[in-house]
Amino acid sequence: MRYGVSADGRVLVDVDGVVADVGALGLEADPSWFAAPSLNRFMAAGPDAWASVAEQVRGADLARGAVSGDVVPVLPIEVADYVDFYASIHHATNVGRLFRPENPLMPNWRHLPVAYHGRAGTIVVSGTDVRRPSGQLGEGVFGPSARLDFELEVGFVVGVPSVLGTPVPVDEAADHVFGVVLLNDWSARDIQAWEYQPLGPFLGKSFATSVSAWVTPLSEIPRVPSPAQSPEPLPYLRAGRDWGLDIPLEAVRNGEVVTQVNFAEMYWTLPQLVAHCTVNGASLRTGDVLASGTVSGPAPGQQGCLLEQGGPFLADGDEVVLRSPRLADVRGRIL
């Protein structure tokens, strides 16, 4: 089951390939949830509402609200904030080796989920073309990026907001997260390399971030045990060890599979990302997107970006498709 939004503002549900207008199914639910031109009102309604609607949809006659013809979905959420984590130990180690071969992981990496705050306004729906960015490439050098990359990621969409000044405990994270999308954090590595010290990514990543047009409810994703963590995290991060998520992933470049990996490899779990994001009192808002960071594994062929693979970087006209049997595709072509 997946939820999306049509170009004319209807909330849609896709059940095994059958697409229906949720508002036309006659559900016992607040009609305003499905009248707005995004999923935000429904997402803000909370876990009981999500579960009730899902149960009713599964028992409904989808033909009653069936949408005929090709559906052209739009960005399904009104994005509030966007945070991108760095939660894969394999990705962090592979990238770290490029710059610090003797000690690839920074001292803080095993103690907290590292992240940066991105640009919510440049999140675009799958299928949107991505124009090659220009910027500073070095001292006195300006021009189009020559090291354009994709990043295979998973994005978590917040439904229920939290109160400013009140951290979200790790064991309550699932009450706030509505669903999951595939996410491509396009990256201009040469712009990033020149700008990122001392404050981290900025223009090298803020020109476009692509997400799926359909949001899969978090409840639809099977849980598996997550990898062991050493040293033991601080108390506010200690729960949620059963929160590995079984999401097979692959990246395809111009029709050729270049990465295959499972999200279950991720070191930091979703509840830990939520708890860390709010531990200082920062609030969650409906429509926040919390991205996992590049998903990579320990074996060859499991590197989730071209930087780890040693290139070649993206050329004009290249199309990248990220896909999973559990989530809707996300695709983009370089202009």
Given the residues 91, 111, 117, 176, the one annotated as active site: 91
The Cα 183–Cα 155 span in angstroms is 6
DSSP character at residue 151: B
Secondary structure of residue 102 in the 3-state scheme: coil
Six-digit token string for 190: 């040469």
- Note whether 57 and 219 are within 8 A (CB): no
CB atoms within 10 A of CB 274: 28
- Contacting residues for 139 by C-beta, under 8 A, at least 6 apart: none
The Cα 329–Cα 310 span in angstroms is 25
Among this protein's residues, is 91 annotated catalytic? yes
- Note whether 149 and 332 are within 8 A (CB): no
The Cα 122–Cα 18 span in angstroms is 30
The Cα 100–Cα 305 span in angstroms is 19
Residues assigned a catalytic role: 91
